[in-house]
Structure 1
C-alpha cells in the first residue's frame, strides 16, 4: 500500500489522449513535455460524509482522470494551461504562491498541490515548471475532479523537484493542502486517488491512514449517472457547514459525557473515548442533541464559549456568515446521519 507512485513508460503514439496532450503542450510552449502525471477521480460505494468524522469509507477510482504534461526549468515560474479553453492560463512565481479562497479558479486547486509539497519540504525553492492539464472528470460533479487536480499537482511537483514520497504520505499531504482553498474534507478523495488499484475498491481507514482491498465481483458493472448540476465545494459553504456541524456535535457530546472535549475534533474520537457501540452513540445523540436548528448563542451557551471562540475555533471562514448570529443547520441530523450510514 505504501509503495511509491509508479513510473511507467508508455508509447505516446499508442495512447490518443497522451498524443493530443503532447501536441497541445508543444503548440503552447514550443517544446516537448519532460514527463506526465495522472490522478483518477472516484466514486464512493459506502460511507458518505463520514471520512471527516474519522470513520472508514469504501471508494473506488474511476477511469476518468486528471492528466498533466510537464517540463522543468530554472525560471522560478509556474506556467499553467488547460486543454479546455474555458479554463484560463495562469502564471505565478514558484517562490510566492498565494491561493485566493474567495476566487476558487481551477489553477488555485492545482497550486494547492504545489504549495502542499513545498510546505512539506520546508519551503525550499521549487523548480520552474510549464504544465498543460487535461481533465476527463466532469467538473463539480461529485467525482473528485478538484481533489484529483490537487493530487496530480502534488505528484508532478514532487517529481519535478526530484523528491520521493510514498503514496500514503502524498495522500495525507494532498488532503491537508486542499484546505488552502477552504475545503475541509476528511481525506477520502485524496487517499483513493493515490492508493487505488485496478479491480478493487478500497476500505480506507484513518488515524492512521491505511487501505485494504475489497475485491469487486467478477463481471460487475457500475453505472455512474451525472445529473449535470454542478457544485464547487470551495465556492459555497454547503460542504464545510456539514463538517462544522459534526465538529460542534463532537464537542457537545464529549462535554455531556465529561470528556476533555476541547481536544476532540471528530465523532470517532468520542466513540473511542467512551468505548461505545454505534447503537450507544445513536442513543447518546438522541439524548444530548435536539433536531431543531441551533443558534450560535445556543451552541456557545452549551459549550461555555464566546461567539469569538466559536468563530475562531470551530467555524471555517466560509461558514461564519458575517458578524450576525444566525441559526446553524440541524446538527442533530448530521450527527444522526453519521451513525446511521456507519
Structure 2
C-alpha cells in the first residue's frame, strides 16, 4: 500500500497534486514547527450500482475517486509529558483541533459527534484490534477534498486515511483486509451501521476499473474494467464512458438521520431474512452465524439454494454463474412469503415466535446502532436487495463481455438502463431517494445521460450519470446552468467558485496509499 511517486496515484494530475501536498506541508510546518514525516491518502468513492445490499452480504460495484483525504504526520519525539498524546488538526480552520491522551481512549464514553470523531474512533478501533505496546505521540494535519454529506463517502475516506496514518506513524504494517475491517469498526463507533462497501473501495480502488466487492463468504475485490475506447471502437461504438457526479446540495448526514433511515434499513433487511428463514422452515447448525445469531438475506438465499448447512460449511458455488438463478428464485419467494404492507413490532414478533422485548433485544438494540421505528417495510426492502444484486451481476457481465447483448454496440445503453432501474428501485422500494435526487436524475437524463441514479446512502447527496466522453463538457455545462442556480448555491453556503466541487466527471482511481512525498 505504498506509492513511490504522486504519478502512481494521480497520473496526469500529478503537478496539481504536488502543489496541494506542498501547501499541506507548509501549513504543517507553520503549526507544528517541523516537517511531516509521513503522508497517507484514501479516496472517496462513487457507487456505480448496488445500493444498500452490502450489509445483506451481496457484492457491490463501486469505483474510487481521484478526490481524497490526505493526512500528514510527524512523531512528537521530545515531550515534557510522560503520557502518549495525539494532536489532530484540520487544514480548514473552521474545524477545531483535537488533542487526546492514549490512556483516555479505552475509558472514553463520549457521544459527541464531529469531524474529529472519525479520527478518534479510528485510533480507538486500531488499538483495540492491534495491540500497540509503545504507542507514539504525534501531530497530524488533515486535508480533505472529498465533498462532505454528498454520498461519495467522505466519512469512509477519513476513517481509512486515519487508520492508515496511525498505523504508519507507529510502524505497523496492515493488510488491506485489516485496514478495511478496522475502518469499518471505527465508523460503527461513530454511530453509523455501515456495511463495508465504502471502506473496501477506498482501500481496494484500481485505476481504470470499478471493483466488484464481495463480502461473503469472505472479503474480496474483483476488477470490473470499464469498457475502454479501444474496446468500444471494435464494436463500432466510438464514444467511451465517463461518469459525472452531481451534488443535489441536500446534505445527507448518515449519523444524524441514521435512526430513521440508514440504520433502520439495516434492521429491516435483517428482519426480512429472519422471517423468510422461519417461514421456509430452513435448518442451520449453531455456529455458522457468529454475531447475534442473525442471518443476512444472502445467507438465507444460499441455504434455500443448497439446503441444510453442516458444520458451518456451505456448498461451494460460483456466484457469478449461479447467482442469477438463485436471485430470481428468492424474488419469487419474497412475493409468496412477505406481505406488501408494513409490519408492526407485534406482527414481526408473532411471525418469529418471540416476544416484542426479545425482538428488540435481538434485532434492534446494539452498542453503536440506534433505530426509531414502530413499523417495518420488509417486502419492499427484500425485493430491492435481491433485484439490485441481479443488476450488479448484469452490469459486471456486460463490462467483462460475459453477457452477450442483442446489439453489441449498445453497451452504454444497456449499462445506463441498469442504472435507471436501480434508481427506480431505490426510490420506490428502498425509499432512499428524495425530491432533489429525483429532480436531478430527471435533468441528467434530459441532457443525454445513458443512465442516472443516486449514489451513496441516498436521502440527499449525489447522483452518478453515465455519459459519453464526447458530450461530457456540454453535459456538465447544462447541469451547471440549470440545476445549480446562484440562489441554490447561496442557500447551501457555497459560491460559484466552488461549483467544480459540486459537478465533476471522473474515471476510476487508485485506493489507499502511504505516499512517498518530501
When structure 1 is superposed on structure 2, of 248-257 and 97-106 the one drifting more is: 97-106
- Residues 10-21 of structure 1: pairs in structure 2 closer than 5 A: 15-21=18-24
Number of the residue aligned with 1:141: 150
Aligned match of 1:53:
56
**Aligned equivalent of 1:77, options 63, 71, 85:** 85
Q: Specify the structure having the higher radius of gyration (Cα).
A: 2
**Is this contact kept in 2: 1:100–1:181, CA < 8 A?**
no
Shift of 1:320: 3.8
- State the SS of the aligned residue for 2:142: strand
With a CA cutoff of 8 Å and minimum separation of 6, indicate the structure with the bigger relative contact order.
2
Distance 1:339 1:248, change over 3 A: same
Q: Is 1:94 aligned with 2:102?
A: yes
> Residue 245 of structure 2 corresponds to which residue in structure 1?
224
- Structural mapping, 1:125-274, within 5 Å: 125-207=134-216, 208-218=218-228, 219-236=240-257, 237=259, 238-260=261-283, 263-274=293-304
Structure 1 residue 108: deviation in Å?
A: 0.7
1:36 aligned partner: 39
1:312 maps to 2:333? no
Contact map agreement 1:293 1:327 (CA 8 A) in 2? no
Q: Is the 8 A contact 2:263 2:371 kept in 1?
A: no
| Cα distance in 2 for residues equivalent to 1:312 and 1:29 | 48
Distance 1:27 1:84, change over 3 A: same
Counterpart of 2:243 in 1: which secondary structure? coil
Q: Partners in 2 of 1:137 and 1:328 — Cα distance?
A: 35
Quote the offset at 1:312 in angstroms: 2.7
Show CA shifts across 1:83-114 (max 9, x none): 12222211111222267674321111122222
Deviation readout 1:322-342 (Å, 9 max, x if unpaired): xxxx52241211111101111
User: Taking structure 1 as reference, are residues 127 and 328 closer, same or farther at Cα in structure 2, changes over 3 Å only?
Assistant: farther
TM-score when normalising by structure 2: 0.61
1:9 to partner: Cα distance? 4.8
Q: Is the 8 A contact 1:101 1:181 kept in 2?
A: no
CA shift at 1:173, angstroms?
2.2
Match of 1:340 in 2: 387
Unaligned runs of 5+ residues in structure 1 are none
Residue among 64, 67, 70 paired with 2:67: 64
Which of 336, 345, 349 in structure 2 is aligned with 1:287?
Answer: 336
Q: CA RMSD in A?
A: 2.2
8 Å contact from structure 2 (residues 193, 369) kept in 1: no
1:61-104 superposed Cα distances (whole Å, 9 cap, x missing partner): 00111111111236511111111222221111122226767432
Q: CA deviation at 1:31?
A: 1.4
User: Helix, strand or coil for the counterpart of 1:139?
Assistant: coil
Separation in structure 2 between the aligned mates of residue 117 and residue 160 of structure 1, nearest angstrom: 13
Could you tell me how far 1:128 is from its partner in structure 2? 1.5
Judged with a 3 Å threshold, the aligned counterparts in structure 2 of structure 1 residues 101 and 271 are, in CA distance, closer, same or farther, namely farther
Higher helix share: 2
